[in-house]
Amino acid sequence: MKREPDAGLFPAPGTLNQDRTDSFRRSASAKVANQRSAGVPPAWWRKRARRPHSLQGASLQLFGPRPRRAAFTLVEVVLAIGIAVFAVLGIFALTQGGLRTFRDSLNESVGVSIGQEMLSQYALADFKNIAGTPATTNYYDNRGQSVDSPTNGAAYRSVAEIIPAASLGLSTNNLVKLRIKITNPNQPFWSKTFVSFIARQGDDSP
C-alpha cells in the first residue's frame, strides 16, 4: 500500500518562496522604520546625495585627465608658416618684376615717341637757327604730349643740346651734333639718349 507524504515535512509547491518573500519584505520594512526613527535618510536619498554636484563635475572635467584630441604640433605649425611665407615672397617678387618690366616698356615706348618727334623738328629747322643755340628743356605727360611746365602733369623731361663741330675736333661750320636725353623724374634710374648729326643744306647760307 502506497504511503502519502506528510504535509508538515514537505510543504506545498510555491509555499517556500512565498514565505521567503514575505520575510524579506518584513525585514526591509522594519529596517526602514528603524532608520526613520533614528533620523537616517532612506537609501535612495543617500544614493542621490553621493552624486557629484554640477560644480564638482566641472572641476573634475577641468582638472581631471582630458581626452586626447588630434592636433598639429608646434613643429608642423612653424613649417607651415615658413612655407606660406616663402610662397608669398615668391609671388610678391614675381609681381614686382612684372610691374618693373611694364614700367620700363612704357618708358621706352614714350621715350622713343618723344625722341623721334624732336629729331624730326631739328632736322626740318633752319641750320642757322639751331647752330650755337643753348640747351633747351621740354616737358611731357604720360602719353608723350608736350606740357607747359613741370608742375602741369609732367612725367617726362627732354634736354636737347647742340654741340658744334669745333667741340668735336672738326674744322667745319657746316655740321653740328644733336644730343637729346629723355628722363623720367619719378624713375631716376631710367633714361634714353638720342644722338644725331645735322648738316647744313645747300640752300642754307652760313
What average pLDDT does this structure show over 166-194? 87
* Cα 198 from Cα 120, distance rounded (Å): 11
Least confident of 29-33, 78-82, 139-143: 29-33
pLDDT at residue 201 above 60? yes
Count the neighbouring beta carbons within 10 Å of the beta carbon of residue 114: 22
| Chain segment 83-102, per-residue pLDDT in tens | 999 888 888 888 888 888 88
pTM of the model: 0.53
Residue 54 has pLDDT above 90, yes or no: no
Please report which confidence band the pLDDT of residue 124 belongs to, taking 50, 70 and 90 as the band edges.
Answer: confident
* pLDDT value, residue 168: 78
How far, in Å, CA of 41 to CA of 89, rounded?
A: 74
- Bridge partners (DSSP) of residue 9 are none
Q: Residue 116's pLDDT is what? A: 92
Q: Which candidate, 124, 111, 197, places its Cα nearest to that of 158?
A: 111
User: Residue 124's closest CA among 204, 180, 192, 205?
Assistant: 204
The DSSP-derived string for 82-145 is HHHHHHHHHHHHHHHHHHHHHHHHHHHHHHHHHHHHHHHHHHHS-HHHHTTPPPEEEEE-TTS-
Q: Which three cell numbers stand for residue 85?
A: 611665407
- Res 35: pLDDT: 66
| Domain extents in the chain | 98-199
Indicate whether 161 pLDDT > 80.
yes
- Alpha-carbon Rg for the chain, nearest whole angstrom, is 55
Q: What is the pLDDT of residue 160?
A: 92
CA 192, CA 165: separation in Å to the nearest integer?
23
* pLDDT over 90 at 10, yes or no: no
Question: Residue 140: pLDDT band by 50, 70, 90 thresholds?
Answer: very high
pLDDT tens for 165-174 read 877 787 778 8
Q: Could you tell me how far CA 7 lies from the centroid of its own chain?
A: 99
Higher-confidence residue of 2 and 90: namely 90
163 touches 176 (CB < 8 A): yes
Kindly state the percentage of the chain with pLDDT values over 70.
66
